[in-house]
Structure formats: structure tokens, C-alpha cells
Structure 1
Amino acid sequence: MSTIVTQTAEAAVAKLSLSGESKPAEQPYKFQRFLPEWTTLLNLPPLEPFEHIDPGHKALKDPQPRSFLDSAKLQSVTPNFGTEIQDGVDLTKLDARERAQIALFVAQRGFVVLRNQQNFIEAEPEWQINDWGAFFGRIHIHPVSGQPKDYPQLHLVWREATGTSDERAYDNKLSTTTVHSDVSYEAQPPGLTTLFLYDTPEDGGDTLFIDQVEAYKRLSPSFCEYLETLQVEHSGVEQYERAVKAHGIDTIKRQPVKNVHPLVRRHPVTGEKALYVNPGFSRRIIGLKQEESDAILNLLYDHISKGHDFQGRARWGTPGTVVLVTAHSALVDWNSGIVGRRHGARVTPQAERPFL
């Protein structure tokens, strides 16, 4: 078979030469060095507790807490949730005061989409990780995901141009929506997280964001009072098992953990209460029988997924887009035959332990 292919290729080249045409050279992929690897020699110890102070606290004392937006062009994604900054802010040029301001702004708006951030996307990863990301907390290395060679601090988003087996797994499901809050199984889950794409098709793959503060407010007061007494176990074990099955034991960088967090948590800067459950990692309510736990969690999952009036979407087709994120769901709407590589990264600073 290889001989036939070689002869066919040589014949094609000869034909092009006779006709005076030249075969176009394939351009190297600009972000080749950030392609994922799933085999790693990292054997990281368990994460240790650390003290975290949200930088948004400083912006609360700022007489002009949104001065970083003075030259910006803004558009609300929804009236009360999500903002798109179309122009006028360059993340690579924000000083410490302005970074604190954007931390507060994200806390208040839920999520922020920034366009025209090619400077950020093309910045050296050392700066993205150690300068930008570390300003907002201790950088998290994902325990099981693929990572670029030499940069395990970058958690990758990856879809081959022809699709992945993960997408095909949705063929027998009514919906591809998989709401999650990133690595909520950690004792100190992420705070302000930065997500960006190196490459993506023009259409498809929007990210859905959910206002967990508003989701909490929609519930009846007596039910909220009860929920505030509850603790939920979050587990990384199932994600570990899927990673081993898909890529082998060598993809594991840290052993899986389980941690218990309040079902309702309070934001350290705004003071607002929010639901803190997600079907990706929440497993059971402590102290309840399994059927009782399942009933409450499934009610909340259903409430969150159907709350279209407290959700917002970010589109990725525009090059140079960066999103500062909260609880969200990646929409796997590729089943219609869309072809194109989807390749991005997440810089994930850890924050405080959830509290009420």
C-alpha cells in the first residue's frame, strides 16, 4: 500500500511540474509548541493549604474602581450578567491597581469577554502564568489533563479538526450541556480564571455561563435557609478514572482528592451568596440518605440548567478573545459536521476555601 501511495504522490508532483504549477507549501501551525501531551513524568505531591486574599478587596477601596474601563467599549451580554469589552483594554498593560479593578468587575458581572487580546494570547507563557495568573492566586496544575511540553500550568482545551471521541459520546444523549465549575474538588478551588483559544472554527463551541448568585436568589427563602445548612462532597476520582481509561496511567500528575464544601458559598469580595454545586464534580450531600441527596442535587441541577434568564453565552469565533470565567458549560455543538481545530488554554489561579 505504501508503494502505491508514493507512486501516486510522485505522479501528482510530476503533473504539477509539467503544467508549470507549484504545490503550495503547508504553513506551520503558529502554536505548535502548545499542543497537548498526555504522558508526563510529573509526580506531584498533594496540594498544601495556603492563605489567599482576593485582589478585588483593594478595588473596593478605590475611589474610581472602574477607571480601567475609561477608554473601553462595553456591551452587556445580559442586563445583569456578563459583559463584553470590545475594545480599549489591553490585559498585557494593566498595572496592579487595574488588575484589582478587573477582579472586582468580574466578581460583580459574573464573567467578562474581552476582544482584541492577541497581545495576551501571543505573550510568553512564563508571563501568562507567573505574572498575570499568579497575581490572582496560586497557579493550579491540573492533575490529569493534557498539557503543553514544559508548561503543565496551562490546562488545555483540545479538539482535533475531525472531532474527538468525547464528542461522539454525545450521539446517544439529548443534550451536550455539561455544567461544571472547574476542579471544585480541590480544597481551594479556582478564583478568577483566564480562558483563551489559540485556534477555533468560526462557528460552534460557545461557552455557556451560569449566574449561581441569581440561581440562589430564585429559590424560596425557607428552602435557602435549609440549603445553607448543607455540605457537599466534591470528587475528582471519576475524572481520574476517565483520564486513565482515555490516555493511560502516565497522564496522572497528582492523585485524585475529595473535599467537602458548603452547598451555598459567599463571595469573599461582594459578600453575595451563590449555589456551589455542579453535576461535574458534586457527588453527595453529607448527612443525607442517598435518595434524599440525589433529589435535592438533581432539583438544583435542573434549576441551573433551565435558568435561561440567568445564563449568558460567549462566542469564540472572533480571533483574540479572552474570557475571565465562573461556573460554565462547554457546548459541544460539533455534531453537525463542523470541521476545524479547537485549541486553547486555561490559566487557573486557586483562591480561598469556600465558606458561607
Structure 2
Amino acid sequence: MQQDTKVKRVAVRAIDIGHSNTKYTLGRKDSGNGNAIKTAMFTSIAPRVAKTQTINTTGAQRSSASIIGVGDADYWVGPGAASQAGGSEPRFVNDDYCLSPKYHALMLGALNEMAQEEGAGHELMIEQLVLGLPLTTYVRHADALRSRMTGEHRIGRAGESTLRQVTIKDVSVLVQPHGALMNLGTSRFAALSGLNLVVDAGGGTLDWFMTRGTEPNWAKSGAHAKGMLHCGLAVADGIKKSWRNQFEVMDTIDLALRTNAESFTVSGHDYPLAAHRADVEAVLAESVNSLLESTGDLDGVSRILFVGGGARLFHDYMKRAFPRLQRVMTIDSDPVFANLLGFHIAGEYQLRRAVAAR
């Protein structure tokens, strides 16, 4: 069959890669709620493909998991990557995560999903891509990430011919919780008056972003390198330390924590969370205390918005710890995708400005 050599072009896309999930936008789609931004995600794991493994690469790229080459290594990436995982798939949390081959494989995997959504057989061109980084690494790594992602990207197995190319004309990088604030501002701009605090409870970090109106207060914004993964690790370490390297078990614990379940089940055994609440609370307290060291007293804040996969867990903890602030605390209506939606909105704004300036 002759390969489709046409270039498919799209205006704006956004990607938010965390230690738990990789989230991405697929453009605006006509739906019952109007021209809404379509989002999707897959688990942030990237099992290595053995060099000796023989695979029908073309077929693999069309399945729910794609083979992504980075350097001389291949990775399974995408919604079905979990089915290709080995016995141990640890999730490491470190400051150089966004520079790692695994992170780049996840990024290319998200781009590949976008290309497949558009039916781009040979090449997808993106006018504006918006990415996010935690406040812990933004200053050090934003420029490098922007440079790395601008331009052409081949998708295919290492050392073999390119199956698909994605070209990105312009890239911008935002601090992750800024996206949530931009998303909020599009629907309720009046809510951005006064002091606003976004608390972003991610997998690897707790980020906080303070603004007065729409103007960031960088001195009172920051991050602590412990998030939902560490809450789950606190539970796992109290039962069986080897669980920390088994992502299926960690995802089970994570879901129980995020939904405030009484227990979780592993290998047919029920484990009450009450026995591990003190260990989880210690992680929450450490992260929130770090936030307070940066922000100071929160009595003057008009709104505290919780986003991220751990939004409810951190929201409930802070409500108990600071009952006087309950009236200004709220969980975003779509906490998992709040940052990502804001990234996409920011990209649309940036592209409109660029077009107007031409």
C-alpha cells in the first residue's frame, strides 16, 4: 500500500507529562457542550522493548501501545503500554525527569496519539505546542525542553525507517498550575480578582501558584518534591516494600487514596487504609508545611483552587487543618485535566497574537 505523504496540519495542542499520567489535547471538537477541547491520557510508564523482540512495527504503531525509539532504545508507550510491562516498573521522582529518555518517549507517544487522531499517515504539523513543568524544575529546564521539542520528531523504532514525523513550529512552556488558573479565568474571570492560590497535587510534586488577579507572585509560588506517589509509597512501605516497583499495585493504592476508600484489594486480600492514615498524613503535612513556608498566612487569600489527581486528598487535609479557610477552598470541576486545558487555551491565545502580528 502506498504511504500517504500529505502533511496534516493542526493549530494548537498541549501536553502535560506527570509521574503518574501523560495527558494531551486533541483539539476542539463539536459536542453537546459546544466546541469543547478534547483530552486524553495514558499511564506514564514506558517499558523497554528487548532488542531481540521481533514485532510487526507497522501494526504495533496502530495498536493501543506504540513502539517509540529514543536514541538507540525502544519503549512501549501509550494507553496499552501496561500490557507490555515487565515484573518491575518503578516510577522515579527526580529533578531531571523532563530530560530523561523515558520522558521523551512519553512525549513522542503523546504526539503519535495526536497524529493518529488526525489520521496523519506520514506527517503531522503542529503550529503551537504548549507544555508544562513543575515549579521545582521550570527555571532550570524550561528553555532546554522548549528547544528540544521545537522542530521535527521521528516516530518509529530505533535504527529503523521513520513511520511518521511530527513537526512543531513553536513551543511554549508554562508552570503547571498556571494552566489551571488560565482555565478558570476563561469561564469565571471575576474569580481571578484578589489573591488566588492554586494547589496542584500531582504525582511527584505538590505545586502552588499565587497570583493577585492574573499577575503571578513568584515569591509566594513554589513546589515540594512529594506528591501523590509518596502518599502511596507510605502505604506500600507499611505492608510490602516491593510493591513500590509494581505500578498496578501502586495505581490501586493511589485510586483508594484519591477516592477516600476505606480499603483496597491486592491479590484478593483487603487492606484497610485506616492502618496507614498516619503515614499518609505525615506526607501531606510535610508538603503543606512547605507551601506555608513559601506563602505565609493564607487569611488574605480570596480563593484556594485544588487541582491534580490528588486534589481531593489535599483539599480534605487542608480543610481539617485550617477550618477557618474552608469557605475559600474549592476543587476544580475537572481537576485532572485543569492544567492541560489551560495550556491549550494559552496556546490558542499565543497563536492568535502571532497571526495578528504577521
Larger gyration radius, structure 1 or structure 2: 1
| TM class by smaller structure | under 0.3
Relative to total residues, which structure has the larger helix share, 1 or 2? 2
Which gives a bigger RCO, structure 1 or 2 (Cα 8 Å, sep 6+)? 1
TM-score scaled by length of structure 1: 0.25
